Amino acid sequence: MSEFVNPFDAAALEAIGPMAALGLGVLALLLVGTLTHSRAARGVVVAASLAFAASLQLDLLAGAPGEVLGGALVADRSSALWGLLFLLATAIAWLFSLDYYEEDRAFLLEHDALLLTTPIGMMLMAGAGDLLTFFVGLELLSVPLYALAAFRRNRPASVEAGLKYFLLGAFAAAFFLYGAALVYTATGTISLVRLRDLGVDSPLALAGTGLMTASVLFKVSAFPFHLWAPDVYQGAPTPVTALMATGSKAAAFAFLLHVTFLLPASAAGTLAVLAIASMAAGNLGALVQTDLKRMLAWSGIAHAGTVLLVVSAALAGDPLADGARDAAIYYMAAYVLTAAGAFGLVAQLEREGDRLPTLDSLRGLSARRPVVAAALVVFMLSLGGIPLTGGFLGKYLVFSANVRADQVGIAVVGVLLSVVALGYYLRVIVAMYMQPAPEGAPTGRASTPPAAVLAAGVCTFGVLLLGVLPGWLLRQL
């Protein structure tokens, strides 16, 4: 008779600590909601849960326990850094949401509970030790996002966004499950460690890997699985869009970089083509947009292509150990701060005008809202990869990884497509500072809620800090 081994030892408890803190926070939030209708009390619970989970993630940076729960979960420095990034994206989205909803205030408890659940799924995706753990994390992230996308139930665009996201997300989840089943049939295991040792080289296993890769590419809205993003991003509540565009993509890329060994080296070229196609489609699609939210959605497709170049470099054999992974983490850190800040400011402009901001409505914004305009300038320049911003160094690290992997031509095309992106980012700056305000635009200076000011300030400071003094994050990589 074999001796029972308790999988929940000290190392396992340390690894799942941040997720447990968030789970307890959700339960506490629901309990507080039944006792009081105070928004302040619920806000304290959410803030405390995120802060406690972040402190536990910082502890994991000092000494991660490695594989736990029989290899189902991996807690290392990489997963800890990704976890901090997920918590940051969630916190920013939550801060921007505090004063965003008007007609849906009665359901803010459900909104906050769903929002607080999403980083648990992200952490499971980034730290998955087997395919089943990743799928559980994928659904734990996706299901709350489906509901949050349709949260503004009185607005047809929001309900439509949630329905589209749900239907397409369900197909993507089915692709992943079918692919995982094929891999299991071919190899007899779903453990990533064993799959690395056994190798995935049979036609059946490669077909399964292809289906799983397609599912992940849908999640990051990369070509050719990108067409859902502009409609869903535009229809969903803008703080939710900020989380979908940042944390959700970061979690999918964290897993994709973790399992590059499942893909054959010959797939590097295919991924590079998909990355370039994503950058081209995203940038060309954004060039013709006048709606700021759709423009940022198409821009997100282009940025997904840029990070996909990192995966291609890793497959092609970046000679610098973990160089591709480090480039992806840094790039996504800059992108989370930049895109979340940009979408958050769009949410504030939308809340004040009760309509989606367009390039025309941004005309003369520097005179009406100088601080908001200045922050948007920082975000647009970072998204465009201008020096002294986090976006510049992120792009430099990505293209350097491609050069080291002997993908010089790919890097050159990527740089040229990044230059094309400046065409629509600079249009925003020109509209705010060099064009007169449209007729009927408010002349007074509106006030921005304190929570939004805090979130925008953190994003702006972080973008500039990563561009000017990137030392702390680079030392952690």
CB–CB of 317/405 below 8 Å? yes
CB–CB of 144/135 below 8 Å? no
For 144-178, write each residue's pLDDT tens digit. 999 999 998 888 889 999 999 999 999 999 999 99
pLDDT at 292: 92
- Segment among 314-323, 351-360, 386-395 with least mean pLDDT: 314-323
User: What gap in Å lies between CA 247 and CA 308, rounded to an integer?
Assistant: 16
Q: Nearest Cα to 112, choosing from 45, 52, 19? A: 45
pLDDT of 476 strictly over 50: yes
What's the whole-number mean pLDDT along residues 322-348? 90
For 365-386, write each residue's pLDDT tens digit. 888 888 999 999 999 999 999 9
- What are the backbone dihedrals phi and psi of residue 312, each rounded to the nearest 5 degrees, phi first? -60, -40
For 22-34, write each residue's pLDDT tens digit. 999 999 999 998 8
pLDDT at 324: 78
pLDDT at 1: 41
User: What gap in Å lies between CA 277 and CA 269, rounded to an integer?
Assistant: 12
**Average pLDDT of the residues of the chain:** 89
pLDDT of 353 strictly over 80: no
pLDDT of 5 strictly over 60: no
Q: How confident is the model at residue 450 (pLDDT cuts 50, 70, 90)?
A: confident
User: What gap in Å lies between CA 395 and CA 440, rounded to an integer?
Assistant: 40
pLDDT at 449: 81
- The torsion defined by the Cα of 134, 51, 462 and 333, in degrees rounded to 10, comes to -10
Sign of CA dihedral 366, 371, 377, 380: negative
pLDDT of 474 strictly over 80: no
What's the whole-number mean pLDDT along residues 97-114? 81
Looking from the CA of 266 toward its CB, the CA atoms found within 13 Å total 3
CA 295 to chain centre: 17
What's the whole-number mean pLDDT along residues 283-304? 93
For 35-53, write each residue's pLDDT tens digit. 888 888 889 999 999 999 9
Q: How confident is the model at residue 105 (pLDDT cuts 50, 70, 90)?
A: low
| Comparison of pLDDT for 352 and 445, the residue scoring more | 352
Residue 61, Cβ neighbours under 10 Å: how many? 14
Residue 410, Cβ neighbours under 10 Å: how many? 24
pLDDT of 2 strictly over 60: no
What's the whole-number mean pLDDT along residues 379-396? 93
What secondary structure letter does DSSP report for 293?
H
pLDDT at 194: 93
pLDDT of 250 strictly over 90: yes
